Structure 1
Amino acid sequence: MNSKPAKPMLPPHTAEENVAYIRQMLGELRTVAANEGADMLRYLIEMAYVEAGDIQSGLRPFSIRRDRDAAAGMPLKAAGKVKF
């Protein structure tokens, strides 16, 4: 038996379309959270909504994993053994 759930068959979309959809859904969830008085949840959803907007406008990359090593200008290495 396969333990992985089957992925629903969705039509292919561009990354931009997916981010636009996510942002739209976050806007709706933000309204629901606000109507329920879930302030912390509304705040976290708002943060994700703003992030999606930044991605749409090109202010942020789609993924931080791609640019992870670029900030320091050097590759990340495992710490290895620590001597005390």
Structure 2
Amino acid sequence: MIPNSSGAGKKETQAHEKVAYIRQMLGELRGVASNEGADMLCYLIEMAFVEAGDILSGKRLLSFANAEGNQAAGMPMKPTGKIKF
């Protein structure tokens, strides 16, 4: 990729790196869910993993913020505490 002098190129690179990180974490979470026999969680995590892969490959846009459609619920996500394995 040719470096872009504008800030847009840097933002795209940062977004790509963040989605790649999320995809990596989803892969690890899928393994944990599988070890616990949580089939539904495995399925949902796999769907998110595929979605992140589609974004990284350019098959899907990163954001539909300007398009009409379903929006995320915006539910607050708070950790439940320490996770025991």
- TM-score calculated relative to the size of structure 1: 0.63
Give the percent of matched residue pairs that are identical in Structure 1 and Structure 2: 67
Partner of residue 48, structure 1:
48
1:25 equivalent in alignment to 2:62: no
The total of aligned residue pairs comes to 58
Unaligned runs of 5+ in 1: 1-11, 70-84
Larger radius of gyration: 1
Structure 1 outlier segments of 4+, above 6 Å? none
Partner of residue 6, structure 2:
none
The letter for the 1-side match of 2:38 is: A
CA root-mean-square deviation: 1.9
Unaligned runs of 5+ in 2: 1-10, 70-85
Once the two structures are superposed, what CA deviation does each residue of 1:30-82 show, in whole Å capped at 9, x if it has no partner? 0100110000011000000000000000000111223438xxxxxxxxxxxxx
Larger helix percent = 2
